[in-house]
Chains A and B, each alone.
Chain A
Amino acid sequence: MKEALSFEEAFERLEAAVTALQDGQMPLERALQLYEEGMKLAQHCNELLQKAELRVQQLSVNDMGVPIVQPLELS
């Protein structure tokens, strides 16, 4: 479900979940929902960090004089 979330989005929502839980005053069902969601978000963040790989591109100018990026392969 959260596959589409970027790290920043997931992290932000995780923080929001923790804050909401900290504030308390909510039905148990909602709290459990927040907890479960928070744990999933943390897991998602961890996975993103673990499988993240730096992308490297090279900037150049095309025939029209417009800057374009292409994947960079370093020999």
Chain B
Amino acid sequence: MLPTGYASFPRVLSVSQVARYLKEMLEIDDILQDIWVQGEVSDCKTYPSGHCYFTLKDGSSQLLCVFFKYARMRSSALELHNGMELAVNGRVSFYERDGKLQLYVDSVQPIGEGAFFLRFEQLKARLATEGLFDEERKRPLPRQPSVIGIVTSLQAAALRDMLRVLGTRYPLARVILSPAPVQGAEAPAAIAAALDLLNEHGEAEVIIVGRGGGSIEELWAFNDEIVARAIARSRIPVISGVGHEVDFTIADFVADYRASTPTAAATAAVPDIADWQADLLVKQQTLVGLIQELLEDLGSSLKHVQRDLQRASPRYQLESRHQQLDDLTALLQTHVQYILSLQGERLRGAALRLHSLSPLLTIARGYAVVRLEADHTLVTSVQQVKPGDELTIQVTDGNIHADVRP
């Protein structure tokens, strides 16, 4: 009811009344209470309270925005700064005290080429600060996992690639697939849940999480904080294999092992039985070698013992005596022959000397040897003979018989 005196005026309202009316009008509008607005950030100020104030503008208009601390925390939003192109979600209302129409921001999404990179870098920096990428957190992969968990889409070509590699390299294993869509809005939560489920089930000894190559938008789920946290809290070591060699995702940084592709992840997860087969062959050869060596050693020992035994036998003793006898006989013969030959030499020497003394040589020079026919006594004096004695006169070529004349 208006005071008296104002009757001639049109109906007059207080500022507060108008402000409240404006506020109410705005807040009953469904469109304005959940709206997405795109524009460029300017006049951005963040206060120590944690609240952030900025103006969203395009070529011809601007809109005041308030981003309260609680909303910023809840949406784990990136840091805003002037010049950013943003899509802002929130509600429009009227701030009565300052008479401002404002957008109360719930969440923000960067727009355009740089947006993904920015969010990536900011989340990466934040998780790095928290220590989620620290080397000390990385757990060693089991060498021979008998159960391998895989988190990927059932439809993914990458799944077939991974199963092919696992089946070839290590068919002894069992694979437990915990399926999750790997792209789209629901992907991050689904991937995180699939990881959690594998942990709850508890049989997998290593988990591969990944998908094949795609655009940055298609790989984006693996840059989501929800996925990063699920990998970080997994009690089972996680191998990431996302996209191609060049693609690095937040998941790669958090994972215990980063493989460049899903195929590489499967390769890293298991040993290759081809190596084992080679190893088995070596072991078999070693066994054969060892037993051969052993048998040869034993054989050679046996030979030694047999020889010793033979030596100890009476027959061997006898043979040995025979041998000794033969040896001695031979020795004796040698000695005898030596002695004989020595004597022969001496004999020859003596004969030669004898020969030089032989009277025959004298005879040859015209002397003669005269003997008594009767007793062959040498006649060296006339006193030895008397007439009638028969003499033998020896000359070089024979004997002459003669009588001593009276």
A residues in contact (CB < 8 Å) with B: 7-8, 11, 14-15, 17-18, 21-22, 24, 28, 31-32, 35, 38-39, 42, 45-46, 48-49, 52-59, 61, 67, 69, 72, 74
Chief secondary structure at chain B's binding surface: helix
Chief secondary structure at chain A's binding surface: helix
B291 neighbours in A (Cβ, 8 Å): 21, 31-32, 35
Q: Does B286 sit at the interface, judged by CB under 8 A? A: yes
CB contact under 8 A between A59 and B176, given known A14-B283, A49-B273: yes
Q: B166 touching A54 by the CB < 8 A rule?
A: yes
Q: List the 10 shortest-distance A-B pairs measured between CB atoms, nearest first.
A: A52-B171, A54-B167, A67-B201, A35-B291, A59-B178, A21-B290, A55-B174, A38-B287, A56-B175, A42-B284
**Which interface class (under 10, 10 to 19, 20 to 34, 35 or more) fits B?**
35 or more
9 contacts between A and B (CB under 8 A): A28-B298, A39-B284, A48-B172, A49-B171, A54-B167, A54-B170, A61-B197, A69-B176, A74-B160
Q: Complex: how many Å from CA A51 to CA B176?
A: 20
B149 CB to closest chain A CB, in angstroms?
Answer: 8
A54 neighbours in B (Cβ, 8 Å): 163, 166-167, 170-171, 173-175
B73 CB to closest chain A CB, in angstroms?
Answer: 31
Q: A57 touching B172 by the CB < 8 A rule?
A: no
B163 neighbours in A (Cβ, 8 Å): 54, 56, 74
B149 neighbours in A (Cβ, 8 Å): 59
Q: A46 touching B197 by the CB < 8 A rule?
A: no
Q: A42 touching B290 by the CB < 8 A rule?
A: no
B118 neighbours in A (Cβ, 8 Å): none
B181 CB to closest chain A CB, in angstroms?
Answer: 15
The listed residue with most A CB atoms (<10 A of its CB), out of B167, B174, B283, is: B283
**Which one of B144, B175, B276, B277 lies within 8 Å of A55 (CB-CB)?**
B175
B174 neighbours in A (Cβ, 8 Å): 54-57
